[in-house]
């Protein structure tokens, strides 16, 4: 019992290390260049050692994706629930997401390239939906509140989500690009699209 718990604990810790090594390797060399050999090399072991903990590379990638997705979701929920209005929730959503991606650039390539690779391949339809459906939900309520029903919230949610990816990609490419400022400009635009009239929120 005691030893079993300890074994499970160390095993979980080892898996976590390997997931972290995967995130870092993908950030460094890109998704499809992040082979088991490179990830194992970063840990100072042979590639078979990873296969022991994860039965295949696909499963390792899936686990790493799940991890970064959970981290991001947790952070987003924490921040968005602080909003005092739905309109503000939209604003916070955009700024928080951009801010998170700006602060955790290691995870960015895994999120974008990894999602793209898995969504085209097999399952992951859940995650893909989830990608923008959270924003769509908030937008739906916010639009109902502000009373501008002319906006297609699904199209706006997809566009903003993809737009944020593109902004982050630009930031990775051009170190001089101010990503957080871009996020605020984008939030302003979205707000303008769903606002009742012409005024901006309290900032």
Partner DNA sequence: GTCTATATTTCGATAGAC
Partner DNA sequence: GTCTATCGAAATATAGAC
Q: Which does 180 bind (CB under 5 to 8 A by kind): DNA, a second copy, none?
A: none
Site size for a second copy (CB under 8 A) = 35
CB nearer to a second copy: pick between 70 and 152:
152
Residue 48 lies near DNA (rule: CB under 7 A): yes
Q: Which does 56 bind (CB under 5 to 8 A by kind): a second copy, DNA, none?
A: DNA
Binding mask 60-79 for a second copy (x = CB under 8 A): --------------------
Q: Which of 28, 37, 82, 105 binds DNA (CB under 7 A)?
A: 37
DSSP the chain: -HHHHHHHHHHHHHHHHHHHHHHHHHHHH-TTT--HHHHHHHHTS-HHHHHHHSSSHHHHHHHHHHHHHHHHHHHHHHHHTT-SSHHHHHHHHHHHHHHHHHH-HHHHHIIIIIHHHHHHHSS-HHHHHHHHHHHHHHHHHHHHHHT-TTS-HHHHHHHHHHHHHHHHHHHHH-TT--HHHHHHHHHHHHHHHH-SSS-----
CB nearer to a second copy: pick between 53 and 127:
127
Which residue has tokens 């991890």? 67
Residue 75 lies near DNA (rule: CB under 7 A): no
Residue 152 lies near a second copy (rule: CB under 8 A): yes
Positions touching DNA (CB under 7 A) are: 7, 10-11, 14, 33, 35-38, 40, 44-49, 51-53, 55-58
Q: Which residues bind a second copy (CB under 8 A)?
A: 30, 32, 109, 113, 116-117, 119-121, 125, 128, 132, 151-152, 155-156, 158-167, 169-170, 173, 182, 185-186, 189, 192-193
């Amino acid at each position: 019992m005691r030893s079993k718990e300890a074994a499970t604990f160390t095993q979980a810790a080892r898996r976590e290390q390997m997931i972290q090594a995967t995130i870092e390797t993908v950030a460094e060399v890109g998704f499809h260049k992040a082979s088991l050999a490179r990830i194992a090399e970063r840990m100072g072991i042979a590639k078979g050692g990873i296969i022991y903990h994860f039965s295949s590379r696909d499963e390792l990638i899936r686990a790493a994706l799940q991890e970064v997705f959970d981290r991001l979701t947790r952070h987003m929920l924490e921040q968005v629930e602080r909003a005092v209005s739905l309109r503000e929730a939209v604003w916070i959503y955009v700024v928080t997401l951009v801010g998170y991606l700006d602060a955790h650039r290691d995870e960015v390539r895994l999120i974008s390239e990894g999602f793209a690779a898995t969504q085209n391949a097999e399952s992951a339809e859940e995650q893909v939906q989830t990608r923008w459906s959270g924003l769509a939900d908030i937008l739906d309520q916010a639009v109902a509140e502000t009373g501008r029903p002319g906006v297609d919230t699904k199209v706006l949610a997809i566009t903003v989500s993809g737009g944020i990816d593109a902004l982050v990609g630009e930031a990775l490419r051009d170190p001089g690009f101010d990503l957080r400022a871009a996020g605020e400009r984008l939030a302003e635009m979205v707000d303008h699209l769903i606002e009742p009239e012409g005024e901006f929120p309290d900032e």
